[in-house]
Amino acid sequence: MKILLIVPPNIGFTDFISPPSNVKISTKGVERKKYGSIITDMPLGIISLSAYLKSKIDIQTRGIDFNVLLKSIVSLGHRLKLISKKHYNMKSMTSNRM
């Protein structure tokens, strides 16, 4: 038997994209865009549950932590924006030379 254990995001999407004043924030990118803070601690709940289930029955478990995934997507998005801006600036500089 196989079981997938999921850790949902600890913050709602709206609070993540447009954090209210009572939510801890983190800023990303050159634009200093504000996002709600994502907690990416070790998912002890699903680790413990997986260990317990494996001790009782013969199963395979996998886990997905959407907090880590969400944080990675935001970081990647900002890196891609920087790369595309640099590429666009380089393109416009070379086209202006002609």
pLDDT confidence of residue 15: 79
User: What are the distances in angstroms from CA 45 to CA 42, 50, 57, 98?
Assistant: 9, 9, 18, 61
Please report the DSSP string for 1-32 in residue order. -EEEEEE--SS-HHHHHS--TTS-EEEETTTT
Q: pTM for the complete prediction?
A: 0.59
Q: Give the distance, in angstroms, between the CA of residue 36 and the centroid of all CA atoms in the same chain.
A: 11
pLDDT confidence of residue 27: 74
Q: Average of pLDDT values for 69-78? A: 70
Q: Average of pLDDT values for 17-36? A: 75
From CA 49, how far away is CA 65, in angstroms rounded? Answer: 14
Mean per-residue pLDDT over the chain, rounded: 76
Total count of domains within the chain: 1
User: What is the residue range of 58's domain?
Assistant: 2-97
Q: Average of pLDDT values for 17-40? A: 75
